[in-house]
């Protein structure tokens, strides 16, 4: 079995310079760095990509949330689509070379995205998380249901800690996506090493 993936997602709160510095420290243990910056302009995202490159993050390890135009203009080959984004089908028809991941919240959405040619799915939130207060988590059962119905990799997100990440992999996830677990850690390198050890 392939080693489970670890993906780290920017939180839209820290400067992209700071995010890039953390990314540089943990780069050997992370498979994908998402730029998920809903409030930033295309130009700011472009600067963020340059900052990541300056800190030793290859374009191949970057993924741009929603902004397909920025990804193409900056030669990033991977995008993450949200519910309000273009559909996977639209993106694949216009840019067949782009690697397309999509955020989904149900089995129906997952199957539809796979039928539209998506390469990967991001599913959550799995456990209770401070970023989604009051929202019912979808749990390991929800993850298992999706993983068993699609053939593309499913990355789990939401409330994932070093203590529960092995359960997530056992439920069928191909990897985990992290925000606060890494970005809010006192020592991001120690945190990612802990996740990497347990997820394997």
Residues classed as catalytic: 125
The neighbouring-strand residues paired with 6 are 176
CB-count burial class (<10 Å; 0-12, 13-18, 19+) for 46: middle
Q: What is the CA radius of gyration of the chain?
A: 16
Angle at CA of residue 149, ends 146 and 150, nearest 5°: 90
Nearest to 36 by CA among 28, 26, 44: 44
Contact by Cβ (8 Å): 52, 25? no
DSSP assignment letter at 70: H
Long-range contact set of residues 84-91: C-beta below 8 Å, sequence gap at least 24: 87/116, 88/113, 88/116, 88/117, 88/118, 89/116, 89/117
């Amino acid at each position: 079995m392939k080693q489970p993936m670890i993906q780290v997602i920017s939180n839209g709160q820290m400067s992209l310079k700071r995010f890039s510095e953390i990314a540089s420290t943990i780069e050997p243990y992370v498979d994908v760095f998402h730029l998920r910056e809903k409030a930033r302009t295309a130009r700011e995202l472009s600067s963020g990509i340059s900052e990541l490159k300056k800190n030793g993050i290859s374009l191949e390890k970057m993924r741009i949330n929603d902004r397909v135009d920025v990804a193409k203009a900056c030669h990033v080959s991977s995008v993450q689509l949200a519910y309000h984004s273009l559909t996977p089908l639209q993106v694949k028809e216009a840019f067949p070379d782009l690697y397309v991941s999509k955020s989904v919240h149900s089995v129906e959405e997952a199957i539809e995205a796979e039928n539209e040619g998506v390469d990967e799915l991001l599913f959550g939130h799995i456990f209770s998380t401070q970023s989604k207060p009051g929202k019912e988590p979808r749990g390991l059962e929800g993850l298992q249901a999706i993983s068993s119905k699609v053939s593309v990799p499913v990355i789990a997100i939401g409330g994932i800690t070093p203590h529960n990440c092995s359960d997530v992999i056992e439920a069928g996830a191909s990897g985990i996506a992290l925000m606060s677990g890494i970005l809010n850690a006192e020592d991001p390198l120690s945190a990612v090493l802990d996740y990497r050890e347990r997820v394997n």
